[in-house]
Amino acid sequence: MSKSITIVGAGPGIGQAVAEKFGRQGWSVILIARSTTRLSAMAAELQANGIKAFALPADATRPEEIRAALAEAARLAGELSVVHFNAAVVRQQDLFSMSDEEIVSDLAINIAAGLNTIRVAVERFGDAGGTLLVTGGGLATAPHADYASLGLGKAALRNLVEGLAAPLAERGIRIGLATVATLVDPGSGEAADVAEIVWRQATGPAEHWETVYPTPTSDPDRLTLVARLTAKPDQAETLGAVLRGLVEPTLAEAGAIEYRLHRDNNDPNVWILYETWRSRTDLDAHFAQPYTKAVLERFPQLLAREMELTFSTPVPPRS
């Protein structure tokens, strides 16, 4: 069955770039937004470029409309593979000069529409699983008074994605956030870069729930750990299976930035974990997790020698 991406809040910029990226890879693209005229024009442009695209006008602030739209998206594509929430109102205005109506309207789109989309998508995925992706923003962690409603919305969605990462992973549903900490113009290199991030989040191996763009250049608290584990000759495959089982829950931890399992090309008994952590405190919290403790308790049975740990701190490029 073919793959599909449903973009809620499809528009110029990131939405267009994501649609083009997935469409060029042979995925069906379903576009959802409130503007029928804009959607029809975008779908026609994608179709003219050989992409299988559909336009479904719907208002995600209304649960009944997004529920009907995602049901129709699943029917059109054959399955609901990836849902990408990309809707937002970008208003440069401080909180105290906004009208009551503007506040209610902005928060309905920036927060409620995201909650509705995530809830309905999880319902649709059911036991089959799927992927939920959200466009975040740098204002979530670096707020600005002149973008009050947008920053509040991005902070709320970031909080939601972080909280859902672990429980949804247990249900076979991946959720990820692309935190875009820069301006993105339609047709720009930045839009294409974000589309690549969304593609990797949807199709690549499990990663941390958040990817920040552009990549931060320095973080004095960040810690890299390389763990080298040598298995007993008759336990190499068992060790690999045990370590693979750590990847998904570890990447759902708030402090885990990167957690990748490798195997030595010259010695199949050697497995290597490459880890990046937000801080040493986060790494210590990881070692205290029950699933980590369970694996550590098995090491005397599985390892030929003590695991070798190398700690390092990333060095930013020259300014």
The sign of the CA dihedral 204, 70, 211, 240 is negative
Q: Which CATH class is domain 223-312?
A: alpha beta
- The predicted-structure confidence for 240-251, as pLDDT tens digits, reads as follows 999 999 999 998
Which of these, 239, 251, 230, lies nearest to 304 by C-alpha position? 230
DSSP 8-state assignment for residue 84? E
- The two structure tokens encoding residue 141: 């962690």
Q: Which CATH homologous superfamily contains domain 4-213? A: NAD(P)-binding Rossmann-like Domain (3.40.50.720)
CA 234 – CA 291 distance, rounded (Å): 23
pTM for this prediction: 0.76
- The two structure tokens encoding residue 311: 């700690």
- The two structure tokens encoding residue 122: 């999880």
Neighbours of 268 (CB within 10 A): 13
Task: Give residue 221's pLDDT.
Answer: 84
CA 258 – CA 250 distance, rounded (Å): 9
Instruction: Using 70 as the pLDDT threshold, list the residues of the chain that sit under it.
Output: 1, 216-219, 316-319
- The predicted-structure confidence for 10-38, as pLDDT tens digits, reads as follows 999 999 999 999 999 999 999 999 999 99
Neighbours of 100 (CB within 10 A): 7
Task: Give residue 124's pLDDT.
Answer: 95
Task: Give residue 318's pLDDT.
Answer: 46
Domain boundaries, the chain: 4-213, 223-312
- The two structure tokens encoding residue 157: 């969605």
- Please report the DSSP string for 273-289 in residue order: EEEEES-HHHHHHHHTS
- Which residues face 206 on adjacent strands? none
CA 110 – CA 76 distance, rounded (Å): 27
Task: Give residue 186's pLDDT.
Answer: 93
Q: Are 43 and 11 in contact (CB under 8 A)?
A: no
- The predicted-structure confidence for 145-171, as pLDDT tens digits, reads as follows 989 999 999 999 999 999 999 999 999
- The single residue listed with the structure tokens 């920040």 is 212
